[in-house]
Amino acid sequence: MHHTDTIVLRSVEEARDEILRHVRAGASEAVPLLAALGRVVAQDVRADIDVPPFANSAMDGYAVRGAEIDSASLTNPVVLQIIAEVPAGGMTEVPVAPGTAVRIMTGAPMPPQADTVVPFEETDEGRPESLHTQGQVRVYKAVPTGASVRAAGEDVQAGTVVVPRGTLVRAAEIGVLATVGAATVEVYRRPKVAILATGDELVDVDEQPAAGQIRNANGYANAAQVLAAGGEPLQLPIARDTEAELMTRLDEGLRWGADLFLTSGGVSVGDYDVVKKVLLSRGEMEFWRVKMKPGKPVAFGIIDGVPLLGLPGNPVSAMVGFELFGRPALLKMQGREGWARPVIQATFTGRLTDRADRRQYVRVRVEQRAEEWLAHLTGEQGSGVLTSMMHADGLMIVPEGMTEVEPGNVLPVLMLHWPELPSDQSYTAAEAGLDCC
């Protein structure tokens, strides 16, 4: 990146790649097991024991010597002497000698010399003809040797890496980590994101806007997006459009230890002068016009060593800009390898006309119909209409140059509330029939 004050035209992909090149996974921290949910493991986790730790029964039944029941059938059952009973959590040292069986419950350790479990259902257990009172059991089926036995280490072997570094921790990983005794887990730190809304017209949520003023929506929406993406947001006080105030706010963010700055407003052609001046004097910044709608003006650069993403002021643009540029960066900073949201193909039900030669991200609500998804407009698409974002499940991607979108057109929809898969190998926009998104 070089110091420039010209406005550079970028595609969404170019802008995102440039941003991703400038961020990397940070330090890690140890957290209690359950707090690792949604985080990325920063250090290989090895199994301290075999899982399961001992051979055990997969069924309620009888532990037997498999070779002895090879001839068992309904008409010609094998009769065995019951020598012991073992529940889960129990233990029997009594060996299963020829002609004997141990009554065993699911999860109980296999007794010595038994290699097979015959489920109750394949014996006279509980049936009128049961020999239970005589301490015997009839086996009605020649279940194969080894059946219904879970071998020690069948799932995980002691010493092996069971959850590698880079793994996104979901519920199943939590379970596996519990199994191998990982009471705490080393995960990548949550990036600290300092959020700075700029604008002389802004007042805070608990204030009554005077004439010409509006409430600061972006600071809150962006903070919520940061939280949802696993970051730790700090909302700096609103910055008035003066150099001095912007400088002060940036310093506050730096003192707090921000890993990323997220600003909104002040980067559009009309009024970016102050923000631009400050950003240029403090760091290496580029001002982009990204070929997208909404959210054309975007700034990106490094301020005192900290990356800064400057989003447009219009609330929808600020949110879409975060979704396309901020979120992938935050995920990468947490060690995530996948940042692409799932993309579905949907049939548009509305009509759009646009002269813009930019890719459009259109707010839609999707609905599943038999074999297809439908995409409905959520309303007025002005970049200030934040309620249409509220009702959106996804952003329908209208390619550059497509000026008319009609009912029946099938287009990709980037799903805003569906989690991205852990790795980009899994479900990428390219596979969904897009060369981009």
Q: Given the rule CB under 6 A, which residues bind ligand AMP?
A: 197, 199, 201-202, 214, 216-219, 264-266, 268, 270-271, 312-315
CB of residue 2 to ligand AMP, shortest distance in Å: 24
**Token pair recorded at residue 330:** 């935050």
CB of residue 318 to Mg ion, shortest distance in Å: 11
**Token pair recorded at residue 320:** 């879409």
Nearer to ligand AMP, 111 or 265 (CB): 265
Helix (H, G, I), strand (E, B) or coil at 239: strand
The H or E element spanning position 246 is: helix 243-256
Per CB under 5 A, does 321 bind Mg ion? no
**Per DSSP, what are the bridge partners of residue 284?**
302
Comparing CA positions, the residue from 151, 158, 149 lying closest to residue 180 is 158
Among residues 111, 119, 230, 266, the one that binds Mg ion under rule CB under 5 A: 266
- Other Cβ atoms less than 10 A from the Cβ of 353: the count is 8
Nearer to Mg ion, 275 or 414 (CB): 275
The listed partner (ligand AMP, Mg ion, none) that binds 233, CB under 5 to 8 Å by sort, is none
Site track 187-206 with Mg ion (rule: CB under 5 A), x = hit: ------------x-------
- Other Cβ atoms less than 10 A from the Cβ of 260: the count is 23
Nearest residue relative to ligand AMP (C-beta): 313
- Other Cβ atoms less than 10 A from the Cβ of 71: the count is 10
CB of residue 312 to ligand AMP, shortest distance in Å: 5
Comparing CA positions, the residue from 358, 396, 402 lying closest to residue 377 is 396
Per CB under 5 A, does 297 bind Mg ion? no
The listed partner (Mg ion, ligand AMP, none) that binds 290, CB under 5 to 8 Å by sort, is none
Nearer to ligand AMP, 91 or 214 (CB): 214
CB of residue 367 to ligand AMP, shortest distance in Å: 30
Per CB under 5 A, does 265 bind Mg ion? yes
Nearer to ligand AMP, 48 or 200 (CB): 200
Nearer to ligand AMP, 270 or 408 (CB): 270
Helix (H, G, I), strand (E, B) or coil at 324: helix
3-state secondary structure 284-301: EEEEEEECEECCCEEEEE
Residues 6+ apart with CB under 8 A from 426: 338
Comparing CA positions, the residue from 26, 28, 27, 25 lying closest to residue 185 is 28
Nearer to ligand AMP, 115 or 271 (CB): 271
How far apart are the C-alpha atoms of 138 and 160, rounded to whole Å? Answer: 42
Nearer to Mg ion, 215 or 365 (CB): 215
Nearer to ligand AMP, 154 or 201 (CB): 201
Helix (H, G, I), strand (E, B) or coil at 322: helix
Per CB under 5 A, does 301 bind Mg ion? no
CB of residue 89 to ligand AMP, shortest distance in Å: 59
The listed partner (ligand AMP, Mg ion, none) that binds 217, CB under 5 to 8 Å by sort, is ligand AMP
Interior/surface letters 15-43, b for 16+ CB within 10 angstroms, e for the rest? bbebbbebbebbebeebebeebeebbbbe
The H or E element spanning position 228 is: helix 218-228
Nearer to Mg ion, 314 or 388 (CB): 314
How far apart are the C-alpha atoms of 268 and 359, rounded to whole Å? Answer: 18
Comparing CA positions, the residue from 147, 256, 152 lying closest to residue 196 is 256
CB of residue 274 to Mg ion, shortest distance in Å: 9
The listed partner (Mg ion, ligand AMP, none) that binds 268, CB under 5 to 8 Å by sort, is ligand AMP
CB of residue 196 to ligand AMP, shortest distance in Å: 9
Choose the stretch contacting Mg ion; rule: CB under 5 A; options: 5-13, 70-78, 117-125, 261-269.
Answer: 261-269
Choose the stretch contacting Mg ion; rule: CB under 5 A; options: 85-93, 305-313, 378-386, 426-434.
Answer: 305-313
Residue 189 phi, psi dihedral angles, 5° rounding: -65, 155
Per CB under 5 A, does 61 bind Mg ion? no
Helix (H, G, I), strand (E, B) or coil at 377: strand
Binding residues for Mg ion, rule: CB under 5 A, are 199, 265-266, 313
